[in-house]
Amino acid sequence: MEIESQQTRAFPPSVERGRTVAPAGAGLSEAPDGRRRWIGLLVVCLGVMMALVDVSSTITALGAIQADLHAASSTLVWITSAYSLAVVSLVMTAGTLGDRVGRRLVFLLGAAVFVAGSLLAFFAGSPGSLIAAQAVMGAGGAALLPSSLAIVGATFTDPQERTAAISIWAACSGLGLAIGPMGAGALLEHFSWHAIFLINLGIGALALVLAPFFVSESRHPTRRLDVAGLILGTVATAAGTYAIIQGGASGYTKTPIVVAYVVLAVSVALFVRVELRHHDPMLDLRLFRNASFSAVMAVAATTMFGFVGISLLAVLYMERVGRFSPLSVGVRMLPLFATFILVSALASRLLRRFGFAATLSAGLVLMGSGALILLATGPSGGYASTWPGLLVAGLGSGLLTAPSTAAAVNSVPPLQAGMAAASVNMLRQLGSVLGPSVLGTLVTSHFAHNLHDRLVTAGVPGPQAGQVVAGASHGAAAGGLPPGLARVLGTAVPGAFTDAVHLGLVVGGIVLIVMAVPTALFVRQRTMAVR
């Protein structure tokens, strides 16, 4: 099938009115040969791998971090979310900057910042300093993710080649997620949790060395800097994500949270007003008049909400209930990550046969089903009831990441690939913030409530039960407790934690499956050439 006109499919005529639009490929300042293009793709994939390694390795090391730093459960949520908060706040700014000054340059700057943040995390000695280091890495990730995807879009202008390249890009992101638990687990067997950040240093150094030789520079030749849009967009995303994360820990009626939501509402209103009037907006909001584009953005957010959220709950369950070592947890997560990599690599073939709507809808249903299958897990912590759900969730996630990215990038003209890449990455990172913060907060809050009820039911006085719950929430061991109470706690903790994880899995599974309905209704079967 011949590709439909991107100008008429992706945009109404008014969107491009008054703007000079160059032909496909005009944004490239260098024209790489065939082999160099594919080597360059692998180089930018190193940056993506590094960004995802940090996410999964940090989740794997949460138990060791909590035990060493004596961090509260609410603080653990911030340790995992500070990175994504920085990414989602800055990713649109980084995408615009890449269009303006050069995507390869922004990619290199992002890799350098990420390496610097990894060094800070390596030397961190308190929860606050580790959270700050994660935020620095998030600033680097905000530059790496949209620039790498925009480089792919600008380098591979043929829609079929581009989809294949994006499939490789997505598979490498899954490889990063898989390397994280494995590498972190191996390092934690012999070293402290600080060592997990050495993985980022090695990958980042390799990307910095190779990118100038194999990655071609590209930019938007007529792009103008939208300062007001950048500021308002950053304030809006930062306020919203802060309110979601901290509200789950402290309560959504607290004054700082209410103020954050007010700031969010005002900044969003001003952002919409500014962007609709700007001649060259950071985010062309008219894109969202296209129901298919809007649905794809929602799919991107929901995908990472489910993927990162399910990963976090599975890791916490295996560590806290199954009592597996970090390395064993990394190995046992392979049904999720390895399946994701394999299916992502095959996604372009599936798209050619079934189209976007069917592929994305099936992916959402499968991932949601995987979350619900994990409800078979029990307080015994056995792995036999865990791996089937991880496998099905991995199948679903592999059908989502590359196709949703390809649908977004191929829905716009080549010169707006950077905007589309930044948009899909922003929504994806927003989902990766919501997943661990919403589902993680559900688990931590309900764990404390469930454990208190179980202890009281077992005959433990209320005040003493409260003290035990506070200690368990901070990762304290039961070694100093009387033998009778220690036995009660040994039974109550696995049951209470399993029930809390089940609640998070139900919420995540329902969100994923429900999202399949608008996906099937609104996403176009083909937004690119499909032969």
Q: Identify the sign of the CA torsion 274, 276, 281, 285.
A: positive
Is 501 in contact with 313 (CB distance < 8 Å)?
Answer: yes
The reported pLDDT for the residue numbered 258 is: 93
Closest alpha carbon to 244 in 84, 121, 130: 84
Is 434 in contact with 305 (CB distance < 8 Å)?
Answer: yes
422 or 360, which is more confident: 360
Mean pLDDT of 159-168: 78
**pTM, 2 dp:** 0.75
Radius of gyration for the alpha carbons in the chain, expressed in angstroms and rounded: 23
Q: Best-predicted range by mean pLDDT among 18-32, 301-315, 343-357, 474-488? A: 301-315
Structure tokens that stand for 132 in this block: 């700050």
Q: How many CB atoms are located within 10 Å of the residue 225 CB?
A: 15
Is 131 in contact with 111 (CB distance < 8 Å)?
Answer: no
Transcribe 24-89 into DSSP letters. TTTTBSS---HHHHHHHHHHHHHHHHHHHHHHHHHHHTHHHHHHHHT--HHHHHHHHHHHHHHHHH
The reported pLDDT for the residue numbered 9 is: 35
CB under 8 Å to 171, separation ≥6 — which residues?
341, 344, 345, 402
How far apart are alpha carbons 413 and 13 in whole angstroms? Answer: 13
Locus of tokens 């995408």: 95
Mean pLDDT of 393-419: 77
Q: Is the pLDDT of residue 478 over 80?
A: no
Q: How much is the mean pLDDT over the chain?
A: 81
405 or 376, which is more confident: 376
How far apart are alpha carbons 104 and 99 in whole angstroms? Answer: 10
In the chain, the amino acid numbered 388 is: P
Q: Is the pLDDT of residue 508 over 60?
A: yes
Cα–Cα–Cα angle for 17, 18, 22, rounded to 5 degrees:
90
Please tell me the least confidently modeled range out of 6-15, 23-32, 91-100, 379-388.
6-15
Phi-psi region of 19 (alpha: psi -120 to 50; beta: other; left: phi over 0): beta
Structure tokens that stand for 197 in this block: 């950040």
Task: Give the DSSP letter of residue 5.
Answer: P
How far apart are alpha carbons 127 and 70 in whole angstroms? Answer: 9
Question: Whole-angstrom distance between the N-terminal and C-terminal Cα of the chain?
Answer: 5
Is 421 in contact with 409 (CB distance < 8 Å)?
Answer: yes
The reported pLDDT for the residue numbered 471 is: 66
Q: Identify the sign of the CA torsion 233, 237, 240, 242.
A: negative
Phi-psi region of 398 (alpha: psi -120 to 50; beta: other; left: phi over 0): alpha
Phi/psi of residue 218, nearest 5 degrees: -150, 155
Q: Is the pLDDT of residue 23 over 50?
A: no
Residues found in the chain: 531
Q: Is the pLDDT of residue 349 over 90?
A: no
Distances (CA, A) of 256 to 251, 266, 444: 10, 15, 21
Element holding 146 (H helix, E strand): helix 127-155
Task: Give the DSSP letter of residue 189.
Answer: T
Structure tokens that stand for 260 in this block: 């954050």
Residue 525: pLDDT band (50, 70, 90) is low
Q: Is the pLDDT of residue 531 over 60?
A: no
Q: Best-predicted range by mean pLDDT among 26-35, 248-257, 460-469, 470-479? A: 248-257
Closest alpha carbon to 10 in 421, 297, 290: 290
Residue 290: pLDDT band (50, 70, 90) is confident
The reported pLDDT for the residue numbered 392 is: 97
Q: How many CB atoms are located within 10 Å of the residue 295 CB?
A: 23
